Amino acid sequence: MRRTASPLSLTLLGVGVFLLVLAPLLVRYVQPHAKRTPIDVDTTTVFTGTGSYFDVGRLKTVDGERITVTRRVRGDVADSLDSGNAVWDVSTSVDTDATLPASDTRDSLQWTLERWVTDRRTNEPVHCCRESPAFDGEAYLKFPFDVEERDYRWWDGTLGGVVRLRYEGPGTVQGYRGLRFTGSVPPTRTGVRQVPGRLVGLPRSPQVLAEEWYANSRIELVADRRTGRIVHAAIGPRKTLRAPGSAKDAVVLLESEELAFTERTQRQQVELAAADSRKLELLGRTAPRSAAVLGSVLALVGAVLVARGRRSGTGTPDTHPMTNRPG
């Protein structure tokens, strides 16, 4: 009787080969698909700090007040799917205790609505889908995946331009380790605004086109290395008005030495970064390595059992005793 390989050995061999094929597929196809900017985001980050702002009601700058910046990011899933890019609507409001919480963001001290479109894989800006403003740079609401230890070009919306962020080494936020980047913006003219002349020291002029100036003494960002998510941010903005052609600030519109993520926002960002990082780690390293090791073991055991089964089934067939009897 001829023996063949057992079902168990064939099963082990088949599963082993499947895992060996699966391992490179996870690295080449599954992980790159997962390493894409999400389109269904709905997150809120909050900065707080103490500073000065221009009180429109009293027509003067008020000092030593708490300032809160609230930024909400919502993904436009429909436009993202149609374009193949990440389309995010970004609402940013600046409030004092007098306007917070505001039932309508338009009641805030300042409020802006922007629409950001980026390549889901590279994080580079894509100019489509009613983008506003047209921006540049490598980083803004997040860094690219797999953040490198180098300088990056960061888009500053208030400046309307790119700021070079210097890599400063590792940074730890809420016990979570990331990469730290810093930068600054020197006083820069960003536009003009029509105001009463007396506001900028020109009492004889009813209305003038005052110059808007902006500076940022401190930009500090800590990004998660694998996902590019910003887990901590701090800025030191200063927005002022100057009389036309003047070299001196006449009115401070907004100023703070530091507006930084609240502890709650830090925890939220760290939790999201850690979860996404674990997912990418699983798909990019843990699962492929485990599949390769386990697949090799199962394939080897299955092959050995198949070979043994075939060897034990070879040889001279038994002859029935009755065939040897003399006739």
Residue 12 lies in a domain: yes
Q: How do residues 45-62 score in pLDDT, each as one tens digit? A: 999 999 999 998 888 999
Residue 26 and residue 53 in one domain: no
Q: 6 and 139 share a domain? A: no
Q: Is the pLDDT of residue 241 over 80?
A: yes
Neighbours of 49 (CB within 10 A): 19
What type of residue sits at position 80?
S
327, part of any domain? no
Mean pLDDT value of segment 244-256: 96
Q: What is the DSSP letter of 310?
A: H
The pLDDT of residue 165 is: 97
> Do 278 and 79 contact (CB within 8 A), yes or no?
no
Domain count, the chain: 2
Residue 311 near residue 3 (C-beta atoms within 8 A): no
Mean pLDDT of the chain: 85
Question: Based on the domain organization, do 9 and 43 belong to the same domain?
Answer: no
Bond prior to 326 in cis (omega within 30° of 0): no
What tokens does 237 get?
């903005």
Q: What's CA 177's distance to the chain center, in Å?
A: 15
Asked whether residue 16 carries a pLDDT value surpassing 80, the answer given is: no
Residue 269 has pLDDT above 60, yes or no: yes
Q: Report the pLDDT value the prediction gives residue 130, as an integer from 0 to 100.
A: 93
Is 42 inside a domain boundary?
yes
181 contacts 220 by C-beta, under 8 angstroms: yes
288 and 154 both lie in a single domain: no
My answer on whether 132 and 249 are in the same domain is yes
In a domain, 181, yes or no: yes
**Any domain includes 271:** no
Confidence of residue 158 (pLDDT cuts 50, 70, 90): very high
Shared domain check, 223 and 84: yes
Tokens 């038994």 found at: 318
Mean pLDDT value across residues 297-309: 63
Buried b or exposed e, range 229-252, using 16+ CB within 10 angstroms: bbbbbbbbbbbbbbbeeeeebbbb
Q: Spell out the residues 6+ positions from residue 189 whose beta carbon is closer than 8 angstroms to its own.
A: 211, 212, 213
Q: Are residues 21 and 116 in the same domain?
A: no
Assigned token pair, 21: 């094929």
Task: State the Cα–Cα distance between residues 34 and 237, nearest whole angstrom.
Answer: 36
Asked if the structure places residue 324 within a domain, the reply is: no
Compute the average pLDDT of residues 249-259.
96
Of the candidates 142, 253, 137, 127, the one whose C-alpha atom is nearest the C-alpha of residue 190 is 253
- Are 266 and 246 a contacting pair, CB within 8 Å? no
294 lies in the same domain as 256: no
Identify the CA nearest to 90 among candidates 105, 71, 76.
71
Whether residues 119 and 245 fall in one domain: yes
Q: Please tell me the predicted confidence (pLDDT) of residue 107.
A: 74
Full residue range of the structural domain in which residue 57 is found: 35-261
Same domain, 302 and 186: no
Cβ neighbours of 77 (radius 10 Å): 13
Tell me, yes or no, whether 72 and 196 share the same domain: yes
Same domain, 109 and 236: yes
DSSP state of 28: I
Alpha carbons 4 and 1: distance in angstroms, whole number? 10
